[in-house]
Each structure stands twice: as structure tokens, then as C-alpha cells.
Homo-oligomer: A and B are copies of this chain.
């Protein structure tokens, strides 16, 4: 009812947005007791599962701009969870999870799994597949067009 006038914008985009924010809110409510944000969690996830990584590569994998990741990393370094080292190429920074970061990681629930379980409980897997296909093709088409 509050949505009566939303009918014009009853689009995939509108619901994608709403699901994204619901998802993120849930993840952050899970992570808040540990003092982590959702993107910070994804960074730790990558470092744990891929090992030491160049900051540049990490940005690509997480689909973040260099500048965005720079801020997230700075936060994690300040918290002592991640170490940022300079190697041969002095422009680049190599990221490694610290001991204290790993200790925190081991005590963490997986917020992606928890949220996914709630979101898709009882959903038809075939329909979920279709939803992913539609979203992916829409995302890729729009991404390709912004480049202009």
C-alpha cells in the first residue's frame, strides 16, 4: 500500500536494490558484534582463501574501484587484521591477513550462507537459476553501456 505509487517502477532494478540492501543489512547485523562491515568481510574472505594478494588484483576480483578498496584496506590495517607490504614493484601493495586477523576469521559465522539460507528458503531452485541469469545478463548489458 505504501507502494501504490511505485507501480511505475516495479522493475527488476527496484527489487534488486531492495534485496541488496536487505541482504547487506542482515550481513552487517551478523558482523556488527565483531566490528566488521560486509565489504571488510569479503576482503578477509579473499585473503583467507587465496592467500597474499596484490591490492590491484583484489579490487578486480571484488569489483571495487582502487580508491574504494584503498579505504577499506586502510581500515583493516588500522584494526591490525591485514598487513600491507611493498615488494619489488614499489607502486604495488601486497595484502596478507595477520595472525590476529586469522584468529578473528576463525571465530566468525559465514554471513553469506546465513543470509542466503533465509532469503531462498523454500524457493524453487529452477526459478533461482532463472533469476540469476536475468540479473547477470542485465548487469552485463548495463555495465557494457556505461563504458560509453
CB-defined contacts of A118 to chain B, threshold 8 Å = 141-142, 145
A20 sits at the interface (CB 8 A):
yes
Say whether chain A's binding surface is mostly helix, strand, loop, or mixed.
helix
A66 sits at the interface (CB 8 A):
no
Q: A5-B61, A12-B131, A112-B13 are in contact. Are A25 and B146 (CB under 8 A)?
A: yes
CB-defined contacts of A115 to chain B, threshold 8 Å = 13, 142
A107 sits at the interface (CB 8 A):
no
| A 1-31 binary contact with B (CB < 8 Å = 1; else 0) | 0110110111111011111111111100100
Total copies of this chain within the assembly: 2
B131 with A130: CB separation less than 8 A: yes
CB-defined contacts of A21 to chain B, threshold 8 Å = 63
Residues of A within 8 A of B (CB): 2-3, 5-6, 8-13, 15-26, 29, 46, 49-50, 60-61, 63, 112, 115-116, 118-121, 123, 127-128, 130-139, 141-143, 145-146
